[in-house]
């Protein structure tokens, strides 16, 4: 008699701690647990607690909410978090992921003024994947648009499609700012897609991070595609909730977004 088939894995639905800003990392864990998210992504640098792995570990254990991913401090506003050496930032992110039980580190491509870092970035990310056992998922970005035209702020480039990265993060707001369609991007990446930031945008030059379903990225169709294609990576809500205006409205927005994600993944 053959053994019963193992149940198919399904995407993990997590909340980025950046989605509760200007509230704290602690609030991110508390809201994720209370609203029914499967875990959190820790945005390193959002507040001092997020940069202290031992404190994050205590939050994880207190709220009984797993950490599924670490967002490395590679944003423009976190350039001084964990020092100024970009490779040390990534190595510390990997150590944090291992300590917290996460399997993904999200990383942005280098800025063009980080020439030494950028010149060895593809090879360096490949080395970290091999040495740490953590998936470094490089995120799609976008050209900066100015009144004088586009400014290419990232090297080797903002679009990771043709670059030599094993694992990728798809951010829907970034795709909108780049005036591309996330569903097309996901299909072109295939199995390299291992992490998704669910959000939305309206094609503005600003990186809007709207609630999914409130922009031009056909977020519902993308989630349905992920479910149908057997995607079993992380799906992380990463929205700008500063406009929510109150804790009560922020909770409603995060709950609405979670329901949207689960419905279109077929998890409701």
Mean pLDDT, 10 residues at a time, the chain of 268 residues: 51 98 97 98 96 98 98 90 94 98 98 94 98 98 81 92 97 97 98 98 94 98 98 98 94 98 96
**Whether the Cβ atoms of residue 238 and residue 19 lie closer than 8 Å to each other:** yes
Q: For residue 62, is the peptide bond before it cis, meaning its omega torsion is within 30 degrees of 0?
A: no
Predicted local confidence at residue 2, as pLDDT: 42
**Whether the Cβ atoms of residue 168 and residue 193 lie closer than 8 Å to each other:** yes
Predicted local confidence at residue 94, as pLDDT: 98
User: 12-265, what's its fold?
Assistant: TIM Barrel (3.20.20)
How far CA 54 is from CA of 96, 111, 167, 232, in Å, comes to: 9, 30, 27, 28
List pLDDT tens digits, range 232-242: 999 999 999 99
Predicted local confidence at residue 8, as pLDDT: 59
List pLDDT tens digits, range 103-127: 999 999 999 999 999 999 999 999 9
How far CA 64 is from CA of 23, 31, 39, in Å, comes to: 19, 12, 9
Predicted local confidence at residue 97, as pLDDT: 98
**Helix boundaries (H) for the chain:** 25-35, 53-63, 86-100, 115-119, 121-132, 172-177, 182-189, 219-228, 247-265
- In DSSP terms, 253 is beta-bridged to none
Predicted local confidence at residue 257, as pLDDT: 98
Spatial distance between the Cα atoms of 38 and 148, rounded to a whole number of angstroms:
44
Sequence ranges of the domains in the chain:
12-265
Predicted local confidence at residue 1, as pLDDT: 40
pTM: 0.94
Nearest to 195 by CA among 170, 229, 173: 170
**Whether the Cβ atoms of residue 112 and residue 152 lie closer than 8 Å to each other:** yes
By the 10 Å C-beta count (0-12 exposed, 13-18 middle, 19+ buried), 153 is classed as middle
């Amino acid at each position: 008699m053959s053994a019963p088939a193992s149940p198919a894995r399904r995407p993990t639905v997590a909340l980025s701690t950046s989605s509760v800003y200007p509230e704290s990392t602690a609030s991110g864990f508390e809201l994720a647990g209370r609203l029914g998210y499967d875990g959190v992504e820790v945005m390193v640098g959002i507040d001092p607690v997020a940069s202290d792995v031992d404190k994050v570990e205590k939050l994880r254990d207190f709220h009984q909410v797993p950490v599924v991913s670490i967002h490395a401090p590679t944003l423009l506003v976190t350039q001084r978090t964990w020092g100024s050496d970009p490779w040390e930032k990534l190595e510390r992110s990997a150590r944090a992921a291992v300590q917290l039980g996460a399997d993904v580190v999200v990383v942005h491509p280098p800025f063009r003024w980080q020439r030494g870092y950028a010149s060895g970035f593809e090879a360096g990310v490949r080395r970290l994947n091999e040495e740490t056992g953590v998936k470094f998922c490089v995120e799609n970005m976008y050209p900066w648009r100015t009144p004088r035209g586009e400014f290419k702020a990232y090297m080797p480039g903002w679009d990771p499609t043709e670059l030599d990265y094993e694992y990728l993060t798809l951010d829907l707001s970034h795709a909108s700012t780049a005036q591309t369609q996330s569903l097309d991007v996901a299909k072109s990446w295939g199995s390299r897609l291992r992490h998704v930031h669910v959000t939305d945008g309206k094609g503005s030059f600003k990186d809007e991070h709207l609630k999914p379903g409130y922009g031009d990225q056909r977020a519902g169709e993308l989630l349905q595609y992920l479910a149908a294609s057997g995607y079993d990576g992380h799906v992380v809500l990463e929205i700008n909730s500063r406009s929510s205006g109150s804790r009560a409205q922020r909770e409603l927005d995060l709950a609405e977004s979670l329901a949207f994600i689960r419905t279109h993944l077929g998890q409701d």
